[in-house]
Chains A and B, each alone.
Chain A
């Protein structure tokens, strides 16, 4: 996927150090470089503390690196003026793990989804906003009428659909998903993965998809990067990394995940 087209996102030598109490430092990201091509879904997998969420936050410009750059369509995010950065926010949006905590319970679903529309350069009429929200709701498998309801009226999977609708309403070029299916039941997780694949096919989404779950990554990602202790250990086409991991750590991760292979003994 990452062939001849210019990358949409380039992460170059990204490091992030946090000061801990007692004068020690935590190297959350250690010289990470990668790129995401337009239309590509890049998975990032690793265990807690590997730096995958720090990477997501910095790519979203929610945190600043200690050193290194993030280029979005060639422009350095951290060289932009705050005003210019705010203007570009419509181009990159995020989906979080917890569909309960990430939606304001006092806002109607339509208002929640319409919220990022304020990032658009043009001012939309109320009717135009309503039209876009209704279309977006249907795009994520909800009904246009659901806009009048409130988050607590929806199940976890439906709430994650609402969060996806909010992330996509500005037609962002990049969507960063941080453990977007991890809080969901298995059958709901499968539905949300199917939805993301459908949306990608229809709209050509580019995604940075962060997960601790190798099975989920294999379902959705074209390429995968494996992280440990702030470093990107290896990156490559998903099937290649899963079938022929180069790194010992990747092999350990693959071996630790329980699969149904334990059923091999005859009944």
Chain B
């Protein structure tokens, strides 16, 4: 059984001024195994973020879902808030593009990482703090011990994103969803964050969904890629194949739009 199986998933929203409905994700199906990294690539309005929110059970109340999302054997579509609470954090964790908005500005980062471990992991305050520190070291926050008592605004964007990853990892989820995790970061910082994510997949046999508009980021980290356009899944296959022998016109357009610099290796050595 796959860790995640999305089957014929459609997400619609009712339009505000009429009874018409808009589908933002249309009949999408794919599955994901432990230890696998799936890249999801698409531009604005492709539905890639809606898809990830649906997996987390985080869609706004007016969204309508049909189809099925099975996460760790449990159905997410139509699940109660209580059932979703049990899934979030333990089965799947998520990190976002702008870590500043995902973090509590009035709480030290150590306390934020320890919070879930106390409230939901059932650890004592002391054990939770020790575990939080270990997580900070695992995401390679420099001077983790000193950083424990820092507030988010005292950290750089890259450091904040590491805190975001540590929080998402606290309850040892089997799936991590990273939605444009490096888009707001400088390239040299981006590289460090992607290295950390790669390592987590390797060492924890975690599954990773890496959502990005950047084919370079996807090519670097994801063995498999799903391409989305306006709610439709255009293709799903090994990244090498998707980029070297794209099946859909849209993927071809996307590759053609890359700056030459990023495209060069594709043209150089065709297999």
Contact = CB atoms under 8 A, between A and B. Distances in A.
Contact of A260 (B188, B213, B257, B263): B263
B46 to A, nearest CB: 9
Interface in B234-252: 238-241, 243-244
Contact of B186 (A190, A212, A262, A264): A212
Nearest to A191: B257
A187 B261 contact: no
Nearest to A194: B257
A264 B269 contact: yes
Interface stretch (B29-37, B138-146, B160-168, B215-223): B215-223
A6 B265 CA distance: 39
A213 interface: yes
A148 interface: no
Contacts of B266: 260, 263
A189 B220 CA distance: 22
B102 interface: no
Contacts of B241: 267
A98 to B, nearest CB: 14
A260 B191 CA distance: 14
Interface residues of B, number: 37
A266 B240 CA distance: 8
A36 B266 CA distance: 34
A18 to B, nearest CB: 18
B97 interface: no
A253 B188 contact: yes
A214 interface: yes
A156 interface: yes
A73 interface: no
Contacts of A215: 258-262
B243 A260 contact: yes
Nearest to B41: A186
B260 A218 contact: yes
Nearest to B182: A258
A216 B241 CA distance: 25
Given A258-B219, A260-B265, A189 B257 contact: yes
Contacts of B243: 260, 263
B131 interface: no
Nearest to B256: A190
A267 B217 contact: no
A4 interface: no
B253 interface: yes
B115 interface: no
Per DSSP, chain B at the interface is helix
Contacts of B244: 263, 267
Interface string A237-248: 000001000000
Most chain A beta-carbon neighbours within 10 Å: one of B43, B260, B263:
B43
Contacts of A189: 257
A259 interface: yes
Contacts of A190: 256-258
B74 interface: no
A102 to B, nearest CB: 18
Nearest to B261: A215
A25 interface: no
A119 B217 CA distance: 44
B232 to A, nearest CB: 16
A256 interface: yes
Contacts of B106: none
Nearest to B44: A185
Contacts of B262: 215, 257-260
Contacts of A256: 187-188, 190-191
Given A212-B187, A260-B243, A267-B271, A187 B259 contact: no
A81 interface: no
A219 interface: yes
Interface in B175-193: 186-188, 190-191
Contacts of B190: 256, 258
Interface in B42-59: 43-44
A219 B265 contact: no
Contacts of B16: none
29 contacts: A47-B188, A48-B157, A156-B44, A186-B43, A186-B215, A187-B253, A187-B254, A187-B257, A190-B257, A212-B186, A215-B261, A219-B260, A219-B261, A252-B188, A253-B187, A256-B188, A256-B191, A257-B216, A257-B261, A259-B216, A259-B219, A259-B261, A259-B265, A260-B266, A262-B220, A263-B240, A263-B243, A267-B244, A267-B271
Q: Which 8 A-B pairs have the closest CB atoms?
A: A215-B259, A258-B216, A190-B257, A185-B43, A47-B186, A267-B240, A215-B261, A256-B187
